[in-house]
Structure 1
Amino acid sequence: MKAKNYFFAIVFMVFVALLAGCGTAGNEKSEGAKETQSNSEKAVETSGENMTLEVGVMPAVDSAPIFLADQKGYFEELGPDVNVQLYTNAMNRQSALQSGELDGAMTDVIALVNNVENGFDIKVTTSTDASFPFLINKDFDENKKDIKVGMMEVSVSNYLADRSLEPYNVQKVYINEIPARLEMIAKGQLDMAVIPEPMASQGELNGLKKELIENMDEFSPDVMVFTGKAIGEKAEALKLFHQAYNKAVDEIVKDDSEARDILIQTLDLKPEIKENIIMPEYQHARVPSEEFLQSVMKWNEEVIGKKVNVSYEELVDGSFIQ
């Protein structure tokens, strides 16, 4: 009888030990699951807050690497969730940037300098690569000296016109919308206008003459800027954005045929212009030099008639291309 009781006592102790072990294992698994879930939630939270970028671009060849990176999934592959928005009116793009609808946008160094001078917190993160032809009315008299030229007032079009039309007496007509400039040239209301590619080739197809403005500077006057808020809160997304941009540039340098197709498709242009588009020499993300920006600021001071008091460091952030 004692032996039987002893046997049951041992069995009972073993059973209790097994239950305790199972409970401990269950608790360990539960704690591990909680930790994994917590880490996952943190990753989702970080991704949702920092990896989304709203980017505004213009109907220009500068946009080709961004369009290509978007359509081929380079942004998604590297991480950032990039929403690319197209603007045909630079003032609308500027309003969207200033109101916080956009994290960054394609603009030019003249607009950049004036924005920073007026207290808007944006910085260049890379130059872009552009082609800027003049589109000329088909009946334009080459011997004519007094001409009407369409452009934006504080913009690269004004800058390039001053650098390229010295032999003429230029009456500047300020028109923000590119399609409106094209229409006015065609109707003879303007003699010419600075129009970025590929819109210039579209105008050429419609009977206007196209003449390329040679860029004698080391850098293009066009840039990508991002707000101080985006730079402060979305640094990783910006870094990966520029990596995707560089990957797209590598593709275009090898063969620009697909980039030409994407420009025509995205900008709703006629396929006949494909081989006539003057494509720039695309380069990896890089920031303009201090010397270049100083020369632009000097021109800008002459145009607006006052001293520009901004430093190179206030205009440029090169941390995303290193």
Structure 2
Amino acid sequence: MKGIEIMLKLKKIISLISTVVLISTMSACSSAKEKVNKKTITVGLITSVDAVPFIMADEKGYFKKHGLDVKLQMFKSAKDRDAAFQSGELDGVTADEVAVCLYRNSNFNVKITGSTDGDFMLVANKASNIKSMEDIKGKSAAISDKTVIEYTLDKMAEKNSIKPEDIKKELVPAIPARLEMLRNNKIDLALLPEPFSTLALKDGGVLLGNASKLGMFPAISAFTEKSINGKRKEIKEFYKAYDEAVQYINNTQISEYEDTVIKAAGYPKDMKGKIILPKFRKNVLPSDDELKLVIDWTTKKGIIKKSLIPKDLVSDVAIK
């Protein structure tokens, strides 16, 4: 009898060991499969305030929390960003509504998946005697033509009952050059994104208006249709992580993460302690009315030849 009992105990032990080994093997196979199926999302960011929530999502581990492998690449110019985007190196980018119209016009299938909170400020140099928007008629303004900068300036003028053609537009594509011209009194006005607008104001420039305060949010994030179709789940989770980063930023003292802001937006280090961020919104899509204004403007300017409608420009992949 003792022999039989020993044999039964051995069988139970062997059975238990086999079960443990099987579970471990299945778990290892499952982890390996998840690793193989994990798709990397590569996103190109322009150095600006819009980049802050994306970089914060990475630094705070929100992307990893959502099971994502995200690679963020920083660019100092739209030209370099576009070269990488169109060559297939990037799944998505931070850009603007005018740029997306241009992409679509050249058969590069890109869709807006969210709005960002980069702002544009119209600043007058301190020697120009310009005190308000009413004074800009006939004044010179440094812009980059047929871009979101010219579009925003035109719309800001129109919202203040000024015809865009009544402003003397001078083509200065490089943003740092616009700032220097403003500082050296070689131009009356410049429309600038952050951090250049803050630097201009620090030098005594006069703030005439903000695009955001006029309800204009032309800055966006976008992905290629190829990425939207192939990485749908990942893109949804990407924006969930973005929203968590926005919540953190809006509810945390900037002193806790100011070094990240300086790196992401390109502020000089001596601005530490003086930076004021916008109230970031959780991810949203631009309205059809807003997109129609952009389409109409780009068509009137002869920038695009294709007939576009708002739904051509957006995907609700991150909103549903």
Deviation at 1:241, TM superposition (A): 1.3
The answer to whether the 8 Å contact 1:89/1:176 transfers is no
CA distance in 1 between partners of 2:74 and 2:82 (Å): 12
Q: Give the counterpart of 1:150 among 138, 142, 161.
A: 142
Deviation at 1:104, TM superposition (A): 0.9
Give the distance between the partners of 1:264 and 1:304, measured in 2 at CA.
38
Q: Which residue of 1 aligns with 2:298?
A: 300
> For 1:286, which of 284, 287, 302 is the aligned residue?
284
- Match for 1:63 among 36, 51, 69? 51
Correspondence for 1:221: 218
CA distance in 2, matches of 1:255, 1:31: 47
Distance 1:34 1:77, change over 3 A: closer
Which moves more between the two structures, 177-186 or 222-231?
A: 177-186
Deviation by residue 1:253-289 (Cα, 9 ceiling, x = unmatched): 2245246553224424234364454x33321111112
Task: Confirm whether residue 240 of structure 1 aligns to residue 231 of structure 2.
Answer: no
Which is worse superposed, 67-76 or 121-130? 67-76
2:197 is matched with 200
| Cα distance change of structure 1 residues 175 and 302 upon mapping to structure 2, 3 Å threshold | same
* Structure-2 residue corresponding to 1:4: none
Query: Hey, what does 1:164 align to over in structure 2?
Result: 156
Structure number with larger C-alpha Rg: 1
Tell me which residue corresponds to 2:179.
182
Deviations 1:104-127 (A, max 9, x none): 111111111121122111111111
Identify unmatched segments of 5+ residues in structure 1: 1-10
Evaluate the alpha carbon distance shift between residue 171 and residue 255 of structure 1 in structure 2; reply closer, same or farther with a 3 A threshold.
same
Matches for 1:13-92 after TM superposition, within 5 Å: 34-47=25-38, 50=39, 52-92=40-80
Aligned partner of 2:99 in structure 1 is 111
| Cα 1:176–1:86 shift into 2, 3 Å | farther
CA offsets per residue over residues 14-58 of structure 1, 9 Å max, x none?
Answer: 9999999999888777665554433222111112xx1x2221222
Distance 1:256 1:130 in 2: 20
The residue type equivalent to 2:67 in the other structure is G
Identity over the aligned pairs, expressed in percent?
Answer: 28
- Whether the aligned pair in 2 keeps the contact of 1:88 and 1:177 (CA below 8 Å) is no
Residue 156 of structure 1: how far off its partner (Å)? 1.9
DSSP-derived class of the 2:71 partner? strand
Residue identity opposite 1:68 in structure 2: M
**CA displacement 1:192-220 (0-9 Å, x = unmatched):** 22111232112322443333324466551
CA shift at 1:240, angstroms? 1.5
Distance change in 2, residues 1:231/1:254 (3 Å): same
One-letter amino acid of the structure 2 residue matched with residue 270 of structure 1: K
Name the aligned partner's letter for residue 36 of structure 2.
Answer: E
Gaps of 5+ in 2: none
Query: Please, which moves more after superposition, 107-116 or 68-77?
Result: 68-77
Partner AA of 1:199 in structure 2? F
CA distance in 2, matches of 1:285, 1:293: 17
Contact kept in structure 2, 1:56 and 1:106, CA below 8 Å: yes
CA distance in 1, matches of 2:103, 2:200: 31
- Count of aligned positions: 309
Using the alignment, how far apart are the partners of 1:256 and 1:290 within structure 2?
35
Residue 297 of structure 1: how far off its partner (Å) = 0.9
* Mapping of residues 126-141 of structure 1, within 5 Å: 126-141=114-129
Q: For residues 129 and 216 of structure 2, what CA distance do their matches in structure 1 show?
A: 33
For residues 245 and 28 of structure 1, do their structure 2 counterparts lie closer, same or farther at Cα, with a shift above 3 Å needed? closer
Q: Which amino acid aligns with 1:151?
A: I
Of residues 307, 310, 316, the one that matches 1:309 is 307
Question: Cα 1:29–1:73, aligned 2, differ >3 Å: closer, same or farther?
Answer: closer
Distance across 1 between alignment mates of 2:173 and 2:71? 24
After TM superposition, give the deviation of residue 222 of structure 1 in Å: 0.9
Alpha-carbon distance in structure 2 between the residues aligned to 1:260 and 1:134:
25
Partner of 1:211: 208
